[in-house]
Structure 1
Amino acid sequence: MIHTLGEPRAVPAEVRGYLEELVRRTSAVCGPRLVSVVGVGSLALGDYRHGRSDLDITVVVDPALPRPALHDLAETLAHPRLPCPAAGLELVVYAADAAARPSGAAGYLLDLNTGALLPDRAAFDTTGSPSFWYVIDRSVAHQCGIPLFGRPAREAIAAPPPAELLTAIRASLREHSDGEGHLADNRVLNGCRSVVFCRTGRWSAKRAAAHEIAAAEADFRPLVEAAVRSFERPRASAEPLPGAAVRAFLGWARERVDGTARAAGN
């Protein structure tokens, strides 16, 4: 049976019908092998921005799911066959035994990106895939994933080991420092979120983390406030930010993460 999508306030109205259909199609393909469907990313952190945010979804399946079913799932969920109302869908499928094991590996069975503002991608092999985004997403899922179907996220998805999570956060900041393929405002806000996580041990919504950093770090306040203003606009209207200032901020953020790792003996 398809479960209801949690509390009404937890799932934005603009995407509620889409997620119900996504769960229905996923259940139809996976049948009794479907364990959980979990909302992560901005959905889970309460900062989904329609027209700007992607929908990040984690699916957990029984390891006995036939591999051809993964191809069927990618096909039935692909935009525009299932039109995605958000900027895009980023959906990752894990075997239940892998999801339940604390790990710093990518570990997925399927990594699907699709949508009007995302390049289409369906990967069934982790070879060559950087692991850090998957590790961070599983950490968010374990902390506050929204149950859309099946077992609760904390039961189905293990928290990554702390040392490997910090390694993943460092890697994400290195990628954002390079800047390729990422909007400048998102690079800055991810840096804010990474630093706040290291200070608190909890994942925060990007804008909440940005407000915390802006209040505490006067030198970076103008840049962070500009990043928030830009983030509140559609992707096509994102404002440019000074590249040198963005790189300096992300360098500072990496130093904060490195300090957390050293204090933890990692």
Structure 2
Amino acid sequence: MDSDIERVPAEVGRYLSELVQRARTIYRDRLVSVGAVGSLALGDYRHGRSDIDITVVVDPAPTRLAHELADALAHPGLRCPAAGLELVVYDAGFAASGAPGAGYLLNMNTGPVLPAVVDFESVGAPGFWYVIDRAIGHQSGWTLSGHPIREALGPPARKDLLAAVSASVREHASGAGHLADNRILNGCRSVYYCRTGAWVSKRAAGRSVAAAEKRFRPLIGAAIRSFERPRESARELSAGEVDEFMAWARRTVDRISGSPVS
């Protein structure tokens, strides 16, 4: 089938072409699909700020192949041009099922900014990250190789997505390890999804929530302007205002999702 790789920004196109080639070399006819999800799929990749989010779907394969792929893609052996690569490999049956949970064969973070992670065991991993990424991939994913990624990823049930979004907001409300602007805009995207059932980029969600929620408009505007800068140049936002917004986002998401409000 035709690949969406020509839609990828030029600064990451050559990198993704090489990533796909290495995945093909390792998995051969077991490679079902390689797709871009996250900010690339949602049309809001920002060089110097965004990660490259990639989902790989494979037919049943020896465990050693996931290890080989992790070795083949590790930065700086394959130099990542973005803040980092977040790559997840799924078995085709699990990917198509729409089941909740992490369910990966490989979860890998690598790159110049991201702390390195290579994990082959999904048991015990917080599943909400992966449920949301698969939902975005099913709705908007770009196919880089093989079967259409939107078909390879089955849609999670609405109740599972609402639970994942609620867990995501709680994670970002804690503040641990997250830039303030990303916390705000993740909260906006979570509220937007709960209200509309659609996934949009964080900045688009921020603009929508700011238009509807006048009291948070200055804070969201500041978060969007900060998010447009490289990570190392992110602006400080008022901790009290960020906490107030995240508490509101959590209450809003929990009310819509039916999660216990606390």
TM over 0.5: yes
1:115 aligned to 2:115?
A: no
Q: 1:47-85: CA deviations, max 9, x gaps?
A: 00000000000000001x111011000000000010000
Q: TM-score, normalised by structure 2?
A: 0.96
Aligned length in residues: 259
Q: Which stretches in structure 2 are left out of the alignment for 5+ residues?
A: none
Aligned to 1:165: 161
- Name the % identity: 58
1:97 aligned to 2:93?
A: yes
Alpha-carbon distance in 2 for matches of 1:99, 1:245: 39
Q: CA deviation at 1:4?
A: 5.9
- The RMSD of aligned alpha carbons is 1.3
Aligned to 1:6: 4
Q: CA deviation at 1:132?
A: 0.5
Q: CA deviation at 1:245?
A: 1.1
Does the 8 Å CA contact 1:142/1:157 hold for their aligned counterparts? yes
Q: Which stretches in structure 1 are left out of the alignment for 5+ residues?
A: none
Farther off after superposition, 198-207 or 51-60: 198-207
1:44 aligned to 2:46?
A: no
1:246 aligned to 2:242?
A: yes
Structure 2 residue identity aligned to 1:88: G
Aligned to 1:28: 25
Q: Which runs of 4+ in 1 moved over 3 A?
A: none
Q: 1:210-233: CA deviations, max 9, x gaps?
A: 111111111001110000010010
Q: 1:185-232: CA deviations, max 9, x gaps?
A: 001001111111111111011111111111111100111000001001
Matching residue within 168, 186, 192 for 1:190: 186
Does the 8 Å CA contact 1:5/1:20 hold for their aligned counterparts? no
Over 3 Å counting, the alpha-carbon distance change for 1:55 and 1:159 in structure 2 is same
Matches within 5 A, 1:1-266: 5-6=3-4, 8=6, 10-63=7-60, 65-262=61-258
Alpha-carbon distance in 2 for matches of 1:7, 1:66: 28
Q: CA deviation at 1:128?
A: 2.5
Q: TM-score, normalised by structure 1?
A: 0.95
Does the 8 Å CA contact 1:93/1:111 hold for their aligned counterparts? yes
Q: CA deviation at 1:5?
A: 3.9
Does the 8 Å CA contact 1:5/1:11 hold for their aligned counterparts? no
Does the 8 Å CA contact 1:166/1:261 hold for their aligned counterparts? yes
Alpha-carbon distance in 2 for matches of 1:244, 1:135: 30
Structure 1 residue identity aligned to 2:246: L
